[in-house]
């Protein structure tokens, strides 16, 4: 009684329309169109009949990359397709890799080649250990004839001698006693040797003593360490006499040529020398 006639009329119309729609759906059939769209078509209708497109009610997937066939990656590799390029290498890393490979080649050569020509000079050798048990490498500058010696074999002998020692801590004692221009290697050669030697050489070097340096030697050493070898700059010490070296290396562990001791006595006196004589 509360409903008006117009409201009742609209409800009845909706019921009739719903019933008609359900009967129409019963007469629909499923058809797969050639373009892949799913449509319903009324049975018994001619070409002018309206078609209900259901594909418009769903999200299209035809444009998604997921629906596209991808090439076989394994087949691409078999056909010689190039893989993705590796990440770029910084120039410094590339140079380090090159030096490491070169060092490995030099080490192999040092183990098989005859280096008696260099070892016989006696300018580089191991002389005992210091007070901390670290090997002491002695380099006698006067016996190193830079312009006469085979520098390639000199580098091989350096690697042959030091490679098994630098795995642990070690020290170097360089004697600049009575040297001349003929004994001074070029900065380019020193820089090349420094760059070739791996990191373990710099890391495990605990001290580099320069005995009997001149003023010019100190200046050149400072320049080289500052601009070419800063990693070992704090490890280099200049000693005016052998007596200062004895504080870290016992005399019985230090084998040096007689001319070095004689020169040291001349300029420093007998302060470090204690002869076995009664007092």
CATH, residue 125 = 3.40.525.10
pLDDT means per 10 residues, the chain with 279 residues, are 55 55 50 46 46 49 53 59 55 74 96 95 96 97 94 97 97 97 92 94 97 94 93 95 93 95 88 49
Angle at 228 between CA 134 and CA 199, to 5 degrees: 45
Task: Answer whether residue 64 is part of any domain.
Answer: no
The strand order across the sheet containing 28-32 reads: 28-32, 38-42, 52-53
Interatomic CA distance for residues 151 and 188, integer angstroms: 12
In a domain, 17, yes or no: no
Indicate whether this model's pTM tops 0.75.
no
Within a domain: residue 226?
yes
* Total of domains in the chain: 1
Residue 210 CA to residue 241 CA, distance in Å, equals 9
Let me know if residue 141 belongs to a domain. Answer: yes
Query: Looking at residue 29, what is its pLDDT?
Result: 46
DSSP state of 8: H
Would 137 be classed as within a structural domain? yes
Radius of gyration of the chain (CA): 45
Of residues 165, 172, 164, the one with CA closest to residue 137: 172
What sign has the CA pseudo-torsion 238, 242, 246, 249?
positive
Give me the numbers of helices (H) and strands (E) for the chain, helices first please: 10, 8
pLDDT score at 33? 44
163 lies in a domain?
Answer: yes
Nearest 10 degrees: Cα torsion 239, 243, 246, 248: -40
Give 184-189 contacts, CB < 8 A, sequence gap 24+: 184/146, 185/144, 185/146, 186/146, 187/224, 187/228, 189/146, 189/151
Residue 266 structure tokens: 């001349």
**Structural domain for 234, as ranges:** 94-268
Helix 91-112 to helix 151-162 angle (10° resolution) is 90
Please give the distance of CA 269 from its chain centroid, rounded to a whole number: 51
Q: Is residue 119 part of a domain?
A: yes
Question: How many C-beta neighbours within 10 Å does residue 254 have?
Answer: 17
**Residue 219 maps to a domain:** yes
């Amino acid at each position: 009684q509360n409903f008006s006639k117009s409201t009742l009329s609209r409800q009845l119309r909706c019921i009739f329309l719903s019933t008609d729609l359900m009967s129409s759906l019963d007469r629909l059939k499923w058809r797969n169109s050639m373009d892949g769209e799913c449509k319903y078509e009324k049975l018994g209708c001619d070409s002018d009949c309206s078609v209900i497109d259901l594909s418009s009610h769903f999200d299209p997937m035809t444009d998604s990359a997921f629906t596209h066939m991808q090439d076989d990656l394994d087949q691409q590799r078999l056909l010689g397709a190039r893989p993705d390029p590796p990440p770029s290498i910084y120039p410094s890393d590339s140079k380090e890799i090159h030096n490491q490979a070169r060092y490995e080649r030099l080490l192999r050569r040092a183990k098989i080649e005859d280096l008696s020509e260099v070892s016989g000079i006696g300018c580089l050798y191991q002389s005992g250990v210091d007070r901390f048990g670290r090997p002491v490498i002695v380099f006698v500058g006067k016996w190193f004839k830079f312009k006469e010696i085979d520098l390639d074999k000199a580098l091989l002998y350096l690697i042959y001698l030091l490679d098994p020692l630098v795995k642990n801590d070690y020290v170097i004692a360089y004697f600049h006693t009575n040297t001349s221009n003929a004994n001074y290697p070029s900065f380019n050669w020193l820089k090349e040797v420094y760059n070739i030697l791996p990191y373990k050489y710099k890391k495990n070097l605990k001290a580099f003593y320069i005995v009997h340096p001149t003023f010019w030697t100190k200046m050149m050493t400072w320049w080289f360490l500052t601009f070419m070898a800063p990693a070992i700059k704090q490890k280099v010490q200049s000693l005016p006499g052998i007596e200062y070296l004895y504080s870290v290396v016992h005399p019985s562990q230090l084998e040096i040529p007689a001319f070095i001791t004689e020169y040291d006595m001349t300029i420093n006196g007998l302060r470090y020398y204690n002869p076995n004589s009664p007092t």
